[in-house]
Amino acid sequence: MFSGTYPWLMAEYNVWQNEQVYSACATLSDDVRKEDRGAFFKSIHATLDHILWGDRIWLTRLSERKYVAGKMGELQYTSFDELRRAREAHDQELLDWARGVTPEWLAEPLTWRSGTPAQPRWLLCVQMFNHQTHHRGQVHTLLTQLGIDPGDTDVPKLPILKV
């Protein structure tokens, strides 16, 4: 259904968007980033932490990599600087992984949870990237409410594209 370029494109988009969002968040104080703003994961910091947690869970399912991840909602990083470094490192790992994905691999079924039917890998890749976008959109909204413009989010404006 999806070509081998789909994960690569979304991984590139992920890097671009995370750079924009984390740069915008770096302009805030730690207290402001960690303030409960009524989002699903309460704060900007906790939402960013959750996105990384989700990426690690999904990449563990989709690759040979194994990540240690706590329970959903438990902070992996209390320091924004450490979270940002971990995010940047994971973005590179995700990009390296996505560059090796083939259409044949995407078409293969994967059982990722005991008791659930196998699903094509392309569908699970869509889920991983959709999860990022969904929660990053929440952070974008919180930043906008604070008067901060995190930048453009349109895929055709991805800097590496020559569209």
Reply yes or no on whether the pLDDT at 74 is more than 80.
Answer: yes
* DSSP bridge pairs for 122: none
For residue 41, count other CB atoms closer than 10 A to its CB. 21
What CATH code is assigned to 5-155?
1.20.120.450
Q: What value does the mean pLDDT take over residues 2-11?
A: 78
Query: What are the start-end ranges of the H helices in the chain?
Result: 5-25, 30-34, 44-62, 80-99, 103-107, 121-145
Split at pLDDT 50, 70, 90, the class of 3 is low
Model confidence, pTM = 0.92
Cβ atoms of 56 and 134 within 8 Å: the answer is no
- Tens of pLDDT, residue by residue over 30-67, are 999 999 999 999 999 999 999 999 999 999 999 988 88
Nearest by Cα to 59 from 17, 90, 89: 90
